[in-house]
Amino acid sequence: MMADGKGWLYAPAGLKDGPLPTHYEPVESPLINRIYPAQQTNPAAKLFHRPDNLYHAPGDPAYPYVITTYRLTEHHTGGVMTRWLPWLAELQPHGFVEISPELAAEKGIQHGEWVTLTTARGEVEARAVVTDRMLPLSFDGRVIHQIGMPWHFGYKGIARGDVANTLTSIVEDPNSRIHEGKVFTCNIRAGRKEVRA
């Protein structure tokens, strides 16, 4: 938003990746950028190349699924406030991921059972909610499955579940430095995660 109180499509100053909005693929994506095949992601995005913050290459076959994270309506501000309040915790008592019936059939996942999600950063387990609300996406004749994972769950409190931040990588938006936890890639399998000794 600019000083006149309006949002500008053409912003000649003030933005690190202006002056016009355009499309880049997320840092982790199963597809190549159709608009700029030579520039897959935002060149101004801040990346952190560290051994505990590995990124998946575009189209990495080890992590073929798109995952997005979100709050639920029942979640009040942050996880700490929500998880400890019984009246809110009982409305969403456990961490879960939402997947389409097609992906569930492909991976042998039963509704309500445990699934494990993996990225190069870590591994989390959650209950599977198999629902028609999740639609497989079609691109270039390929079917790309999307997975939804509500966050605000944690290992302490009344409503518990694995932490979604275990999966995400740190990528910062060049202007607001909000990190790209809304979309990345992952893999999924039926069953609980392995307990490491």
Partner 1 sequence: MMSRPLASEHPTGPFYRTLPPPTMHEAALTAGVRIEPGTTYGFFTDTTVCIGCKSCEAACKQWNQNPMDDFGFKGTSYDNTGELSATTWRHVAFVETRIDTNGDHRRDRTRWTFMSDVCKHCENAGCMEACPTGAIIRTEFGTVLIQQDVCNGCAYCVPSCPFGVITLAEEQDRKAHKCTLCYDRMKVGMEPACAKACPTDSIQFGPVTELRERARERLRFLHSRGRREAYLYGVPDAPGAAGGVGSLNCFFLLTERPEVYNLPPLPELPSRRAGAGFLTATAAALFWGAVTTAMILAPRREQREGGRQ
Judged by CB under 8 A, the residue of 35, 38, 61, 138 near partner 1 is 138
- Non-local (6+) Cβ contacts of 118 within 8 A are 63, 167, 186, 187, 188, 189
* # chain residues binding partner 1, by CB under 8 A: 24
In which element (H, E) is residue 151 found?
none
Question: Coil, strand or helix: which one is 106?
Answer: helix
Name the one range near partner 1 by CB under 8 A: 40-48, 62-70, 125-133, 182-190.
Answer: 125-133
Q: How far apart are CA 150 and CA 130, in angstroms?
A: 14
Q: Which is nearer to partner 1, 115 or 171 (CB)?
A: 115
Q: Which is nearer to partner 1, 128 or 188 (CB)?
A: 128
Examine residue 131 and tell whether it contacts partner 1 (CB under 8 A): yes
Q: Which is nearer to partner 1, 55 or 96 (CB)?
A: 96
Closest separation in Å from C-beta 146 to partner 1: 13
Q: Which is nearer to partner 1, 12 or 86 (CB)?
A: 86
Question: Coil, strand or helix: which one is 86?
Answer: helix
Judged by CB under 8 A, the residue of 62, 112, 178, 182 near partner 1 is 112
Cite the beta strand spans of 58-194 per DSSP E: 65-70, 96-99, 114-118, 123-130, 137-139, 142-144, 146-150, 171-172, 184-190
**Sign of the Cα pseudo-torsion (68, 51, 45, 59, in order):** negative
Cite the beta strand spans of 49-121 per DSSP E: 65-70, 96-99, 114-118
Quick note: the x/- pattern for partner 1 over 54-93, rule CB under 8 A, is ------------------xxx-----------xxxxxxxx
Examine residue 120 and tell whether it contacts partner 1 (CB under 8 A): no
Q: Which residues contact partner 1 (rule: CB under 8 A)? A: 72-74, 86-94, 96, 111-112, 127, 129, 131-133, 135-136, 138, 158
